[in-house]
Amino acid sequence: MKHQINPDLQRERDNCSFDIAELTTIIDGSPEKTKERKEREECFLVSLSEGPSTAVPEEYLSHREKYERGLHSSCYIFKQIRKWQEEGKMNINNYRYVIGGILSSSLVRDGSVFGLHYIMFMPAIINLGSEEQHQTWLKRAWTCSIIGTFAQTELGHGTFIRGLETTATYDPETKEFVLNTPTLTSYKWWPGGLGHTSNHCIVVAQLHTGGKCHGIHSFIVQIRDEDTHMPLPGVKIGNIGAKLGLNAVDNGYLALDHVRIPRMNMLMRHAQVMEDGTYVKSRNSKLNYGAMMFVRVVIVFDMLNYLTKAVTIATRYSAVRRQCQVKEGEPEVQILDYMTQQHKLFIGISAAHALRISANRLWDTLNEVSDQIEQGNLERLPELHALACCLKAISTADTAALVERCRLACGGHGYMLSSNLPLTYGLVTAACTYEGENTVLLLQTARFLMKTWQHIDTAKTTPTIEYLKITSDPNYVNKWEKSVQGIIRGFQVVAMRKTSKSFEMMKTRMMSGLSQADAWNMTSVQLVAAAEAHCRAVMLQAYHEATVAEAAAASPQLGPVLLQLLELYAAYWALEKTSDLLQYTPITGDDITELQIWYEELLTKIRPNAVGLVDAFDIRDDILQSTLGAYDGRVYERLFEEAQKAPLNAEPVNQSFHQYLKPFMQGKL
Amino acid sequence: MKHQINPDLQRERDNCSFDIAELTTIIDGSPEKTKERKEREECFLVSLSEGPSTAVPEEYLSHREKYERGLHSSCYIFKQIRKWQEEGKMNINNYRYVIGGILSSSLVRDGSVFGLHYIMFMPAIINLGSEEQHQTWLKRAWTCSIIGTFAQTELGHGTFIRGLETTATYDPETKEFVLNTPTLTSYKWWPGGLGHTSNHCIVVAQLHTGGKCHGIHSFIVQIRDEDTHMPLPGVKIGNIGAKLGLNAVDNGYLALDHVRIPRMNMLMRHAQVMEDGTYVKSRNSKLNYGAMMFVRVVIVFDMLNYLTKAVTIATRYSAVRRQCQVKEGEPEVQILDYMTQQHKLFIGISAAHALRISANRLWDTLNEVSDQIEQGNLERLPELHALACCLKAISTADTAALVERCRLACGGHGYMLSSNLPLTYGLVTAACTYEGENTVLLLQTARFLMKTWQHIDTAKTTPTIEYLKITSDPNYVNKWEKSVQGIIRGFQVVAMRKTSKSFEMMKTRMMSGLSQADAWNMTSVQLVAAAEAHCRAVMLQAYHEATVAEAAAASPQLGPVLLQLLELYAAYWALEKTSDLLQYTPITGDDITELQIWYEELLTKIRPNAVGLVDAFDIRDDILQSTLGAYDGRVYERLFEEAQKAPLNAEPVNQSFHQYLKPFMQGKL
């Protein structure tokens, strides 16, 4: 059934000053990539349509039913992925899109039980397993004849991996490891797919052999019978319970009571335990960084998916929604015309482009550095690690704030789950905590900054920290200019000054007698701020460089629009950070007033293209899954239709009227 | 079953420097009030225990089951309220506690179906109904022999009440009103308890009589049969569907197809329609402000309840949780010892006291001004309205941010629904939108500021805007001082300057040819900022005045702690607003460094009392309902016990293994 497009939305599209498809191509990377994406989406949506009925939307289901439907859907989607794998259609480039993009943020609305099988279980076997182990496990994992997950976090330990309590003790008599979780706090807790889905699991545990602890290592443990799916002896396992989001992911707990596994179930590519129990150390302890950074880059791309969804929903809704008659005799105003609304939304559109560019850069750098690491060159690892840490932290925190801003911008209707905004927030905010808690990550970046600053004069400056050297040069001219470049320079000075100030503060505190650890702790609020400033300077510069190139290559209609978005992003963040600019650059109060006016003018310039800009993200209705954001703008119709699907509305009178309400009203309860 | 207190938590309590009960008394207001509160809590918890079993926690239920359990619980709680009413135990003072405090934020975790019956339906009859109507409706409402709600918002209209489309057309032939919702957008949407619970409803509609529209008025409409509960003819009604929170509230929609009601069902205390259709206007259109303001004050108190819950949970958890070995050979650190964690949590404790004091002030002022209004004196109405608007907006926005900050401070475990933090956020963020969307409310305050500023020289300055006159005096000495008073003065100058700057900007834009409406819109981002600055100046001053008095009356142990919290609040917000201070006061970069160090010292001073400070909020475990925040600190035990209650864990193997997972793994799907 084709419906008419809401006329307000149609008018927006008619008035858009550029070719929407051109922008979509830029976002995807090339016309071929757009075509591939569309085919991929179509293909997976078709597989999904063979799955469970969605006559009752999942938000009406119980926790158990959400799991069951999620599993059902996932089987049909991963059937397709398996098919693609068999056909050789999966490769490093589309793998990221399929696993990261489509799965974790689009088709399976509330996450997938099989996510960790692909993102952690298989990669861990590849990275940490020997050739022999690849033979044994990888083929079975690849065809999904076993399903695995990765269990590191425990009830009592997340950030502090060294503190994990699960033990794997080698028994040379039987040539087995004995896996044990000796305390409640050592129970594994959180792994996706662990509760009721996986039958295998990589368990991270403290390795004990020859009476010595050798720190954490990874072990493959079968946890359920392959035929009956019953938990194996000594294995206590289940779902950890209802969460803010991701309720279809089957996060689980796992307790192991002296469970024995063959020696060959320890992943032995790097470190090994010989038959007699001799421990052979890994050559390099930093080789694992690669996998961790890969996951963080995938997270940044994920954020991009969520943010584009949220701004698409909120912008289209704001074009359809009319509220308040501002001028006598005129119709009510599209809320998109209110500057306060533009202030809420347009930064989200700009930020999506900034994220896209940062994520692409990070992805390229990661691949470069990975190649260098393969060749034994670890020089750029610390810089890349520091960059991935702060980008993960800032992109997740910013996206969470922007998604919530979009939701609130939709007023009451944004509170409806059918808007898809609350669910989107639930998924995004989770990323602020998993794969490195944001504050912890920013402190990692700060540690890198402190080390770099200590030797700034002599250090070989790598691309993302070159500015520290330049701006701290005594001859550097610190001036203010109302332009993107001016703001970048300002942000670089701010980051440099916050870095140097934190460094000095640390030094002063240590000289006054504090230990290094205590001085670090006392200064940590400022260190976090320094790491954030560093990240913003790097992101803005990357966004600037790439956009100038994109705009130059674009049509004369689109080019200026791309630059407007960049300028808006720069002006917005400059206004957010005027405190820093006032402290560390020669910006004046009048400059700030000008900046504010510039920002307001940019909002006005972007306004007519707002709908076109979100259309260009090209998110299909069946991926967007929002009553407020659908392409046709039938907002009120969809809200009403969705409500009709609530099982509560299937009967005119709910049973509890007879059971409780009527007796209560009659005073008989 | 009594469990031992977690030793880390016990040590915190042993080391607290003040008497926790003394602070509880201050928070409650007097020893008698503490006693009353405890009795009230006990009494309602006993009623609730007669209600539904909670063996399966509500987060595992489906949308329909959540409604059913919520209704069941509510019947048992409101049975007790009805009993209290009959016994004459309900009065204006405890009414607020019972309806606002206990119900909307404590006992009924996800809201109550009967909330609007008490907060809107009955008060509307009292305020808008004639004596005769009181006789007819109030007694039945009072005994709950009818259950009502209040339907104003429509699918297409929330903020703009004048734009409501529902009509009530008087038919003098039959002496009836014909209620009609002519379009989909005119369907009533959102009222709590409307979907499946209420059988009566106050409908706000455009009154038509004698061929003329007289604007919106309120009408009592019976919507369901009192005996069968079936929707009456012409009434289309149901639940609006799943939401981010408040899923037990039964928010509903309502369409009326030419439904006829007797003339006497229009609430006629103020305006009337005579038998022949003659319309008699109300004497005063502003009399309704009182009810609206009452609701907003209740919201501020609600925020206080939610915030104290969140900081209690996060602070106790942070004392129990240990993570990372910072110094060799020492145990892992309580995360409460990390300054970044203190930075996340302690502002929440301070903000709770600031909110408590602001809410109490607003409550007192509201009562004062209400008395004046009763006597026909409307002089202070605009000021009070402006104050209630911005306090509602800032208190809900701040609380939402702080609750989320607490949740994120609990890491992954804060993402568990059993922590009660996600649900708390869902309830708080709803308040950013309902009863006046926050941006709209801040613009109302800004409008008052602009009007005041226009006549600042001659205006009679009322208490909350006296500072505008003082700080704008040419002889005023604008100086910076690192103290609470210094910050208050700084904030006052900032608010004055933002007000005057917005005013000038409006003037400039109008002189350049923009209409007043367009100039307003172009300046609205700055107007919102001015209103926020005004609110922060007023709140901080109120917090300061009351705390100085409380500290002076408190014991020598407690007094200084109260002042530390005040100083922390002032320093935190000064650091958040250094941009404004740098622009409008003579504060320097060095002053800001000093401010930062002061703030860090305050965190360190408050640290040893943190647990005592949240204990003093005295929230019972069965009201707190949190695995992470319980008094005994059995965090991990409770997390594990809660997971065991998930119905998904009732069976070792879920049915979907046989249906989908096994066939999928075998490649047979």
Give the residue from A649, A651, A658, A666 with the most B CB atoms within 10 Å of its CB, the best one to mutate. Answer: A649
Query: Which two three-digit tokens encode residue A487?
Result: 């703001």
| Burial class of residue A224 (count of CB atoms within 10 Å of its CB; 0-12, 13-18, 19+) | buried
Top-confidence residue, B186 or B376: B186
Q: How does the average pLDDT of chain A come out, rounded?
A: 94
Q: Are B363 and B34 in contact (CB under 8 A)?
A: no
Cβ–Cβ of B661/A600 closer than 8 Å?
Answer: no
pLDDT at B379: 86
pLDDT at A2: 63
| Burial class of residue A1 (count of CB atoms within 10 Å of its CB; 0-12, 13-18, 19+) | exposed
Q: Are A495 and A537 in contact (CB under 8 A)?
A: yes
Answer whether B418 touches A (CB < 8 Å): yes
Query: Which two three-digit tokens encode residue B126?
Result: 């009292």
Task: Give the angle subtended at the CA of A499 by the CAs of A494 and A500, to the nearest 5°.
Answer: 100
Top-confidence residue, A535 or B126: A535
Question: For B190, which residue in chain A has the nearest alpha carbon?
Answer: A412
Q: With bands split at pLDDT 50, 70 and 90, how would you rate the model's confidence at B104? A: low
The residue-averaged pLDDT of B177-192 equals 98
Cβ–Cβ of A660/B343 closer than 8 Å?
Answer: no
pLDDT at B636: 98
The residue-averaged pLDDT of A391-403 equals 98
The residue-averaged pLDDT of B28-39 equals 94
As a whole number of Å, the CA-based R_g of chain B is: 27
The residue-averaged pLDDT of A253-272 equals 96
Answer whether A280 touches B (CB < 8 Å): no
pLDDT at B102: 57
The residue-averaged pLDDT of B8-17 equals 98
In B554-577, which ranges are continuous DSSP H helix?
559-576
Q: What is the tens place of the pLDDT at every residue in B267-279?
A: 999 899 999 999 9
Cβ–Cβ of A158/B64 closer than 8 Å?
Answer: no
Neighbours of A483 (CB within 10 A): 13
Cβ–Cβ of A79/B522 closer than 8 Å?
Answer: no
Which DSSP symbol is given to B146? S
How much of chain B exceeds pLDDT 90, in percent? 83
Which residue reads 């510039």 in tokens?
A: A598
Q: With bands split at pLDDT 50, 70 and 90, how would you rate the model's confidence at B432? A: very high
pLDDT at A559: 98
Q: With bands split at pLDDT 50, 70 and 90, how would you rate the model's confidence at B221? A: very high
pLDDT at A38 over 90: yes
Q: How far apart are CA B346 and CA B351, in angstroms?
A: 8
pLDDT at A288: 63
Question: For A63, which residue in chain B has the nearest alpha carbon?
Answer: B60
| Burial class of residue A477 (count of CB atoms within 10 Å of its CB; 0-12, 13-18, 19+) | exposed
Distance from the Cα of B128 to chain A's closest Cα (Å) equals: 24
Q: With bands split at pLDDT 50, 70 and 90, how would you rate the model's confidence at B220? A: very high
Q: With bands split at pLDDT 50, 70 and 90, how would you rate the model's confidence at A315? A: very high
Cβ–Cβ of B67/A159 closer than 8 Å?
Answer: no
Q: Are B537 and B491 in contact (CB under 8 A)?
A: yes
How far apart are the two ends of chain A, measured CA to CA in Å? 49
Domains in chain B, CATH or no CATH each = 146-280 (2.40.110.10), 441-615 (1.20.140.10)
Cβ–Cβ of B76/A669 closer than 8 Å?
Answer: yes
> Strand, helix or coil at B231?
strand
A vs B: CB pairs below 8 A: 355
Q: With bands split at pLDDT 50, 70 and 90, how would you rate the model's confidence at B256? A: very high
Question: For B442, which residue in chain A has the nearest alpha carbon?
Answer: A340
CB-nearest partner of B415 from A82, A244, A596: A244
Q: How far apart are CA B220 and CA B194, in angstroms?
A: 13
Q: With bands split at pLDDT 50, 70 and 90, how would you rate the model's confidence at B370? A: confident
pLDDT at A482: 97
As a whole number of Å, the CA-based R_g of chain A is: 27
Highest mean pLDDT among A74-83, A278-287, B572-581 belongs to B572-581
Cβ–Cβ of B62/A59 closer than 8 Å?
Answer: no
Q: How far apart are CA B213 and CA A302, in angstroms?
A: 52
pLDDT at B285 over 70: no
Q: Which of residues 496-525 of A touch B (CB under 8 A)?
A: 501, 515, 517, 521-522, 524-525
CB-nearest partner of A524 from B160, B163, B339: B339
Q: How far apart are CA A54 and CA A72, in angstroms?
A: 12
Question: For B160, which residue in chain A has the nearest alpha carbon?
Answer: A324
A113 forms beta bridges with none
B216 forms beta bridges with B206
Q: What is the tens place of the pLDDT at every residue in A472-497?
A: 999 999 999 999 999 999 999 999 99
Which DSSP symbol is given to B334? B
pLDDT at B284: 67
How much of chain B exceeds pLDDT 70, in percent? 97
Alpha-carbon separation of residue B618 from B308, B441, B606, B611 (angstroms): 9, 33, 18, 11
Query: Which two three-digit tokens encode residue A613?
Result: 């800009």
Q: Which of residues 574-593 of B touch A (CB under 8 A)?
A: 577-579, 582-584, 589, 592-593
Answer whether A53 touches B (CB < 8 Å): no
| Concatenated DSSP letters of A473-538 | STT------SSHHHHHHHHHHHHHHHHHHHHHHHHHHHHTT--HHHHHHHHHHHHHHHHHHHHHHH
Q: How far apart are CA B264 and CA B137, in angstroms?
A: 11
Q: Active-site residue numbers of B?
A: 435
Task: Give the angle subtended at the CA of A278 by the CAs of A275 and A279, to the nearest 5°.
Answer: 115
Q: Which of residues 318-347 of B touch A (CB under 8 A)?
A: 322-327, 332, 337-340, 343
Q: What is the tens place of the pLDDT at every residue in B136-148?
A: 999 899 999 999 9
Question: For A443, which residue in chain B has the nearest alpha carbon?
Answer: B340
Nearest C-alpha neighbor of A146 from the set A55, A73, A220, A66: A220
Q: What is the tens place of the pLDDT at every residue in A430-467?
A: 999 999 999 999 999 999 999 999 999 887 778 889 99
Q: With bands split at pLDDT 50, 70 and 90, how would you rate the model's confidence at A286? A: low
Query: Which two three-digit tokens encode residue B141?
Result: 């409402």
pLDDT at B92: 65
Q: How far apart are CA B396 and CA B439, in angstroms?
A: 12
Q: With bands split at pLDDT 50, 70 and 90, how would you rate the model's confidence at A289? A: low
Answer whether A441 touches B (CB < 8 Å): no
Cβ–Cβ of B147/A65 closer than 8 Å?
Answer: no
CB-nearest partner of A416 from B187, B241, B654: B241
pLDDT at B255: 98
Question: For B254, which residue in chain A has the nearest alpha carbon?
Answer: A640
| Burial class of residue A593 (count of CB atoms within 10 Å of its CB; 0-12, 13-18, 19+) | middle
Lowest-confidence region among A24-38, A145-159, A560-574, B94-108: B94-108
SS3 content of chain B, % helix, strand, coil (to 5): 60, 10, 30
CB-nearest partner of A196 from B67, B437, B648: B648
| Concatenated DSSP letters of A575-595 | HHTHHHHHHHS---HHHHHHH
pLDDT at B287: 58
E strands within A100-195?
148-151, 167-171, 176-180, 188-189
Q: How does the average pLDDT of chain B come out, rounded?
A: 94
> Which chain A residues have a beta carbon less than 8 Å from that of B195?
648-649
> Which chain A residues have a beta carbon less than 8 Å from that of B184?
636-637, 640
Q: Are A335 and B158 in contact (CB under 8 A)?
A: no
* Parallel/antiparallel/unpaired status of strands A200-209 and A212-222: antiparallel
Q: Are A653 and A340 in contact (CB under 8 A)?
A: no
The residue-averaged pLDDT of B316-339 equals 95
Nearest C-alpha neighbor of B113 from the set B193, B191, B51: B193
Cβ–Cβ of B65/A62 closer than 8 Å?
Answer: yes
The residue-averaged pLDDT of B646-666 equals 97
Which residue reads 């009403």 in tokens?
A: A640
Q: Which of residues 216-235 of A touch B (CB under 8 A)?
A: 228-231
Distance from the Cα of B593 to chain A's closest Cα (Å) equals: 10
Cβ–Cβ of A648/B153 closer than 8 Å?
Answer: no
Q: Active-site residue numbers of A?
A: 435
pLDDT at B286: 60
pLDDT at B369: 85
Answer whether B443 touches A (CB < 8 Å): yes
pLDDT at B401 over 80: yes
Q: With bands split at pLDDT 50, 70 and 90, how would you rate the model's confidence at A93? A: low
pLDDT at A92: 65
> Strand, helix or coil at A88?
coil
Distance from the Cα of A19 to chain B's closest Cα (Å) equals: 28
Q: How far apart are CA A633 and CA A6, in angstroms?
A: 5
Give the number of residues written for chain A.
Answer: 669
